[in-house]
Structure 1
Amino acid sequence: MAAPDDFDAWFRLLQTPGLGREGARRLLAAFGSPEAVLAASPVALTELGGPALAATMARPAPECEARLAAARAWLAGETLRHAITLGDPAYPPLLLQTADPPLLLYVQGRTELLAAESVAIVGSREATPQGLANAREFARGLGEAGLTIVSGLAAGIDGAAHEGALAAGAATVAVVGTGPDRVYPARHKALARRIAETGAIVSEYDPGTPVLPEHFPQRNRIIAALARGTLVVEAAPRSGSLITARLAAEAGREVFAVPGSIHSPQSRGCHALIRQGAMLVEGVDDVLEVLRGTRPAAALSAVPDADTPADPVLAALGHEPATLDALLARTGWPTAELSARLLELELDGQLARLPGGLFQRRVAG
Structure 2
Amino acid sequence: MNRRECDARELGAWLRLLETPGVGREAARRLLAAFGSPDAVLAASIEDRRQVVSAAAAVALARPGEHHDALISTTINWLSADSRRQVLCLGEPDYPPPLLEIADPPLLLYASGRVELLRLPSLAMVGSRHATAQGRENARTFAAQLGQAGLTIVSGLALGIDGAAHEGALDTPGGTIAVVGTGLDQAYPRRHATLSQQIAEKGLLISEYSLGTPPLRENFPQRNRIIAGLTRGTLVVEATLQSGSLITARLAAEAGRDVFAMPGSIHAPQAKGCHALIKQGAKLVETVLDVLDELGIAMAPAVPAVSAPEPDAPAHPLLDAMGHDPIGLDELVARTGWSAAELNARLLDLELAGRVERLPGQRFQRLDRA
1:245 matches 2:249: yes
Which is further off, 164-173 or 150-159?
164-173
1:276 corresponds, among 274, 280, 294, to: 280
Which residue of 1 is the match for residue 199 of structure 2? 195
TM-score under structure 1 length normalisation? 0.77
Structure 2 unaligned spans of 5+: 299-370
Query: Please, which of 4, 18, 23 is the counterpart of residue 19 of structure 1?
Result: 23
Residue in structure 2 matched with residue 103 of structure 1 by the alignment: 107
User: Is 2:209 the counterpart of 1:208?
Assistant: no
Distance 1:31 1:167, change over 3 A: closer
Given the alignment of the two structures, is residue 141 of structure 1 paired with residue 145 of structure 2, yes or no?
yes
**Given the alignment of the two structures, is residue 291 of structure 1 paired with residue 295 of structure 2, yes or no?**
yes
Are 1:177 and 2:181 an aligned pair?
Answer: yes
Query: Which residue pairs with 1:41 in the alignment?
Result: 45
Aligned counterpart in structure 2 of residue 186 of structure 1, from 168, 179, 190: 190
- What's the counterpart of residue 336 of structure 2? none
Does 1:165 pair with 2:162? Answer: no
Cα distance in 2 between the residues matched to 1:144 and 1:124: 24
Task: Please name the residue that 1:265 is paired with.
Answer: 269
**For 2:151 and 2:274, how far apart are their aligned partners in 1?**
22
SS at match of 2:259: strand
Report the CA distance between 1:169 and its aligned residue: 4.9
Query: Per-residue displacement from partner, 1:11-64 (whole Å, max 9, x unpaired)?
Result: 111112211111111111111111111111223223444644432322543222
Which residue in 2 is equivalent to 1:128? 132
Alpha-carbon separation, structure 1, partners of 2:201 and 2:53 = 45
Q: Could you say which residue in structure 2 is the equivalent of 1:358?
A: none
The within-5 A match list for 1:45-84 is 45-49=49-53, 51-58=55-62, 60-84=64-88
Question: Separation in 1 of the partners of 2:61 and 2:16?
Answer: 10
| Aligned counterparts of 1:220 and 1:15: Cα–Cα separation in 2 | 21
Q: CA deviation at 1:90?
A: 0.4
Answer whether contact 1:17 1:59 (CA < 8 A) is retained.
Answer: no
Cα offsets for 1:73-125 (capped at 9, x unmatched): 21112220100000010000000111111111000011121121000000001
- Paired with 1:98 and 1:170, the residues of 2 have a C-alpha distance of 23
**Counterpart pick for 2:258 among 236, 254, 278:** 254
Superposed CA offset, 1:182-223 (max 9, x none): 111112111111111121000011111111111100111100
Number of residue pairs matched by the alignment: 294
C-alpha contact (below 8 Å) 1:94/1:115 kept by paired residues: no
Name the aligned partner's letter for residue 241 of structure 1. Answer: S
8 Å CA contact retained: 1:122, 1:158? yes
- Of the structure 1 ranges 232-241 and 185-194, higher mean CA displacement relative to structure 2 is found in 185-194
Report the CA distance between 1:259 and its aligned residue: 0.2
1:88 aligned partner? 92
Superposed CA RMSD in Å reads: 1.7
The match for 1:354 is none
Hey, which bits of structure 1, 4+ residues long, moved more than 6 A?
A: none
Aligned to 1:341: none
Output the CA distance in 2 between the equivalents of 1:49 and 1:230.
35
- 2: CA distance, partners of 1:216 / 1:68: 24
Q: What letter matches 1:99 in structure 2? A: A
CA distance in 2, matches of 1:46, 1:178: 31
Q: Are the counterparts in 1 of residues 259 and 282 from structure 2 also a CA contact under 8 Å?
A: yes
TM-score between the two structures when normalised by the length of structure 2: 0.76
User: Which consecutive residues of structure 1, in runs of 5 or more, have no partner in the other structure?
Assistant: 295-365
Structure 1 residue 293, shift from structure 2 partner: 7.3
User: CA separation in 1, counterparts of 2:185 and 2:26?
Assistant: 26
Larger Rg: 2
CA distance in 1 between counterparts of 2:181 and 2:16 reads 21
The AA in structure 2 aligned to 1:277 is: G
- Which residue of the partner structure matches residue 358 of structure 2? none
AA matched with 1:70: T
Query: Which residue of 2 is the match for residue 10 of structure 1?
Result: 14
The alpha-carbon distance between structure 1 residues 256 and 275, as it changes in their structure 2 partners (threshold 3 A), is same
* Aligned twin of 1:115: 119
Give the letter aligned to residue 25 of structure 1: R
Structure 1 counterpart SS, 2:170: helix
2:16–2:61 CA contact under 8 A, matched in 1: no
Tell me, in whole angstroms, the C-alpha distance in 1 between the residues paired with 2:54 and 2:200. Answer: 44
- For residue 3 of structure 1, give the secondary structure of its aligned residue in structure 2: helix
How much has 1:4 moved relative to structure 2?
2.3
